[in-house]
Amino acid sequence: MIELIHDYWLYFLVGQYPNGPLGGLTLTILLSSAALVLAMPLGLLLGVARVSPWRAVRWPTAVLVQIVRAVPLLLVVFWAYFFLPAVTGVKTGQATTMLMTLVLFDAVYLAEIVAAGIRSLPKGQLEGARSLGLSYGQALRLVILPQALRHVLPSLVSQLVATIKATSLGYIIGLSEVSFIATQVNTLVFTRAVEVYIVLALTYFMLCFGLSRLAFLLERRMNRRPVSAFATKVTP
């Protein structure tokens, strides 16, 4: 296994770069972080729409969320892979296709996280903000969202873990992320499949386990320090 890592570590980390497209573990990490960051604004918007007081906004969002969550991500990848070029007329690369799919996918999951964060706040927060004369938008932006987002920070880290795992599906459309590279190394060395795939599994494990520990620590810290809404100090 040591020999294998010694021979192929660079290929495993960056793929054919700089003689070809960037790939390997670097692509996996870049793609998942970019997807989460790009999905954030969309997720916030959908999350707010999900708990909107207006039915005309709430219901379509609910339908979108339910549909995206009910079909496999792989199917969305396929739809995007065959449709984006047909609709836009431009041949989209594997990385772009995967990024767009992940953004949609993450936005929907983030919407649920954000909505859960908003719902977990006491009702009085919104009512209080409104009665102080803030508009609905202002109340959301200044009072509700800052608290809700703090609540859901650990879930955001878990979502990053889910996204990292989801990038592996790019393998199927030939995206040269880390699973794809591992399979190529496997064909190069031929008889050492066990070692190759254990290295791959360990790589994912270290990345995802590290991040999920971070989520756990964040959760513990937040539980210990209650959200300011409940911790109003009564000054004598």
Partner 1 sequence: MTFFDASLLRSGEYHDWLVQGFTTSLQLLAASFVIALPLGVAIALMRTSHGRALRGLGATLVEGIRNVPLLAHLLFWYFAFPELLPEPVKLALYDSNPEFICAVIALSLYAGVHMAEDIRSGIRAVPGAQMEAARSLGLGRLASLRLVLLPQAIRIAVPPLLSQTVNLWKDTSVATVIGAAEMMYQAARVETATFRSVEAFTFATLAYLTVSLAISLAAQLYARRFPVRT
> Half-sphere exposure (CA, 13 Å, Cβ side) for 150?
13
110 closest CA partner among 71, 60, 145:
145
- Contact status: 132 vs partner 1 (CB under 8 A): no
- Contact status: 166 vs partner 1 (CB under 8 A): yes
Q: Are 106 and 164 in contact (CB under 8 A)?
A: no
- Contact status: 72 vs partner 1 (CB under 8 A): yes
Query: Which distant-in-sequence residues (6+ apart) come within 8 Å of 96 by Cβ?
Result: 84
Nearer to partner 1, 92 or 186 (CB): 186
Give the one residue of 3, 205, 217, 221 binding partner 1; rule: CB under 8 A: 205
Number of Cβ atoms within 10 Å of the Cβ of 158 = 20
**Rounded least distance, CB 228 to partner 1, Å:** 28
Using the rule CB under 8 A, give the single segment among 2-10, 30-38, 87-95, 161-169 that binds partner 1: 161-169
Of 28-67, binders to partner 1 (CB under 8 A) are 66-67
- Contact status: 89 vs partner 1 (CB under 8 A): no
Sign of the torsion angle spanned by Cα atoms 186, 192, 194, 198: negative
Q: How far apart are CA 76 and CA 74, in angstroms?
A: 5
**Rounded least distance, CB 126 to partner 1, Å:** 26
Nearer to partner 1, 11 or 136 (CB): 11
- Contact status: 209 vs partner 1 (CB under 8 A): yes
Q: Are 208 and 158 in contact (CB under 8 A)?
A: no
What is the CA 101 to chain-centroid distance, rounded?
A: 11
- Contact status: 189 vs partner 1 (CB under 8 A): no
Of 110-129, binders to partner 1 (CB under 8 A) are none
DSSP-based three-state secondary structure for 122: coil
**Residue 231 φ/ψ, nearest 5 degrees:** -105, 30
For partner 1, the binding residues (CB under 8 A) are: 66-67, 69-75, 78-79, 82-83, 161, 164-166, 168-169, 171-172, 179, 182-183, 186, 193-194, 196-198, 200-201, 204-205, 208-209, 212
